[in-house]
A = this chain, B = another copy of it.
Amino acid sequence: MTAETHARASGRTAHVMAQIRSRIASGALTNGDRLPSIRGFAASLGVSPSTVVEAYDRLAAEGLIRARAGSGFFVQASSVASLPLGARATLPGPREVDPFWVSRQSLDADDESPKPGCGWLPADWMPQAALRRALRNVARAEDAVLLNYGRTQGDFDLRRLLARRAAEEGLALDPANIMLTGSGSQSIDLICRLLLKPGDTVLVDDPCYFNFRALLKAHQVQVISVAMTPTGPDLTAFENALEASAPRLYLTNSALHNPTGATLSPPVAHRLLKLAEAHNLLILEDDIFTDFEPEPSVRLAALDGLNRVIRIGSFSKTLSASLRCGYIAARAEWIEGLVDLQIAAQFGGPSPIVTHVIGEVLTGGSYRKHMEEVRRRLNRTRRSVIARLTTLGIEPWLEPRGGFYLWCQLPEGVSSTALAQAAMAEGVVMAPGNVFSAAQTASRFMRFNVAQMADEKSWQVLERGAA
């Protein structure tokens, strides 16, 4: 949103607005002064009174003037109104490289800053045309879509669509087992609120998505981790952890694991579920990378049938992060509790406008082809990024079968935290290994987003840092 896009005033209205602005700028009108009368000003400028009313209303909406009921318009006394248009909030200052560090830097960086550490695709990889079409269409949607909070579990047709897509992976789901939420992270948050209490122990992978760590810290739970292998967690360590610490929940990505790109193998999945059963462990399977897989891999939720596994996902990686919609698929009795929690904490779920847009893009016929092209492009890009990183002595831990992440080891003696801080000083956002590691075992690792490395500045920073 910019002043330009909002103030599409017509020529005459803009002229009246400019007249008032220049009188305020010159000091001819100052704080608290009454504006010229509508009728008189209209006559003096040769415009209609309604043009002046519109101009005053727009200036009032901008905060430059204000209306007082029955007595006209006055110049507004407000320090805020004097801020330059388009000014930006200042970025937070230097801060510890903790699990929030990458998120904050990625989200608040300028649009132009290279972000090889961020967790999303560049704009030109996204289904923009389909999104813009769906937004134009939603402007014509029925009142309920446009104005209502939406149902407590969220739009039924979108839940049915999710159930059908799950069925393609062999997970039989009823739409009643699905609740839509405001994001993937929010799905995890609601589940933690439902199932955990402070002091509980939660098991994560080492490494794992840094925001799992941030979220679990907010829930004041104990976090333990087991080493990730290319086919899932190290099962010996996993079993030892269950025996030693009796965690209540295991939080993971089965497919295209963040940050490693690893994918759970069927035998590991089977044995992992048997261990979970033996130790009464619940599992939260974060499935946001599904559509980046070349073909579906095994899912804990599918094997388990939503007995002790909860699945969550979102549309941020494949459609748009601006949509703010995720989902939870879980046992019916948990959904009941999650509905109450979502009402208490947010009143509604995701925007019905947004779920309408998502439904339209997903069923519009172009989505499958779009994702095929994204996967092909990622494969090409991943290969060339790996080749170039290797020349710098930066080695992938694994060549992932899909997705945009690449978990790499830096040359000996190079600290990824120091490298990320040096990069930040040059306006490049990187994701250093230890923000992903509860056990702090990843000081020589870095997560790269292969789709976000087109800018030579990232490579210059890496060349200097890896030397």
A interface residues, Cβ below 8 angstroms from B = 1-3, 5-7, 9, 13, 54, 57-58, 60-63, 66-67, 69, 76-81, 83, 87-90, 92, 100, 103-104, 107-108, 111, 120, 123, 126, 128, 131-133, 135-141, 143-153, 155-161, 163-165, 167-168, 172-176, 182-186, 189, 193, 198, 211, 214-215, 217-218, 294-295, 316, 320-324, 336, 339-341, 343-348, 350-356, 359-360, 362-369
What are 27 A-B pairs with beta-carbon distances under 8 A?
Answer: A1-B157, A1-B355, A3-B157, A57-B368, A58-B364, A62-B161, A63-B161, A63-B163, A76-B167, A76-B168, A80-B163, A80-B175, A81-B167, A88-B156, A100-B343, A104-B339, A107-B348, A123-B144, A128-B146, A145-B322, A147-B322, A182-B182, A182-B324, A183-B347, A214-B340, A321-B348, A324-B346
Q: Contacts of A137 on B, CB cut-off 8 Å?
A: 5
Judge whether B57 and A167 touch: CB under 8 Å.
no
Judge whether B367 and A66 touch: CB under 8 Å.
no
With A58-B363, A152-B108 known as contacts, the answer to whether A193 contacts B164 (CB < 8 A) is no
Judge whether B354 and A353 touch: CB under 8 Å.
yes
Give the distance to chain B from A463, nearest Cβ to Cβ, in Å: 29
Judge whether B175 and A89 touch: CB under 8 Å.
yes
With A353-B135, A359-B1 known as contacts, the answer to whether A108 contacts B164 (CB < 8 A) is no
Judge whether B217 and A321 touch: CB under 8 Å.
no
Judge whether B355 and A354 touch: CB under 8 Å.
no
With A164-B62, A183-B346 known as contacts, the answer to whether A149 contacts B322 (CB < 8 A) is yes
Judge whether B80 and A174 touch: CB under 8 Å.
yes
With A193-B218, A324-B182 known as contacts, the answer to whether A54 contacts B353 (CB < 8 A) is no
Judge whether A89 and B159 touch: CB under 8 Å.
yes
Judge whether B128 and A168 touch: CB under 8 Å.
no
Could you tell me the distance between the alpha carbons of A89 and B369 in the complex, rounded to whole angstroms?
Answer: 31
Q: Contacts of A139 on B, CB cut-off 8 Å?
A: 132-133, 135-136, 139
Closest chain B residue to A62 by CB distance? B363
Could you tell me the distance between the alpha carbons of A78 and B160 in the complex, rounded to whole angstroms?
Answer: 11
Judge whether B145 and A90 touch: CB under 8 Å.
no
Judge whether A185 and B344 touch: CB under 8 Å.
yes
Give the distance to chain B from A318, nearest Cβ to Cβ, in Å: 11
Could you tell me the distance between the alpha carbons of A58 and B365 in the complex, rounded to whole angstroms?
Answer: 5
Could you tell me the distance between the alpha carbons of A148 and B145 in the complex, rounded to whole angstroms?
Answer: 23
Closest chain B residue to A220 by CB distance? B197
Q: Contacts of A323 on B, CB cut-off 8 Å?
A: 351, 353
Q: Contacts of A369 on B, CB cut-off 8 Å?
A: 57
Could you tell me the distance between the alpha carbons of A167 and B152 in the complex, rounded to whole angstroms?
Answer: 36
Ranked 9 nearest A-B pairs via Cβ:
A63-B164, A135-B139, A123-B143, A78-B167, A1-B359, A214-B344, A185-B347, A189-B345, A6-B363
With A108-B151, A322-B149 known as contacts, the answer to whether A164 contacts B214 (CB < 8 A) is no
Judge whether A78 and B164 touch: CB under 8 Å.
yes
Pick from B60, B164, B193, B364: contact of A81, CB under 8 Å: B164
Give the distance to chain B from A146, nearest Cβ to Cβ, in Å: 6
Could you tell me the distance between the alpha carbons of A182 and B190 in the complex, rounded to whole angstroms?
Answer: 14
Judge whether A363 and B157 touch: CB under 8 Å.
no
Could you tell me the distance between the alpha carbons of A77 and B336 in the complex, rounded to whole angstroms?
Answer: 28
Could you tell me the distance between the alpha carbons of A172 and B63 in the complex, rounded to whole angstroms?
Answer: 13
Could you tell me the distance between the alpha carbons of A132 and B367 in the complex, rounded to whole angstroms?
Answer: 25
Give the distance to chain B from A45, nearest Cβ to Cβ, in Å: 17
With A189-B345, A363-B61, A365-B58 known as contacts, the answer to whether A164 contacts B107 (CB < 8 A) is no
Judge whether B149 and A107 touch: CB under 8 Å.
yes
With A135-B138, A146-B128, A146-B131 known as contacts, the answer to whether A173 contacts B58 (CB < 8 A) is no
Q: Contacts of A78 on B, CB cut-off 8 Å?
A: 164, 167-168, 172
Closest chain B residue to A58 by CB distance? B365
Closest chain B residue to A107 by CB distance? B152
Give the distance to chain B from A62, nearest Cβ to Cβ, in Å: 6
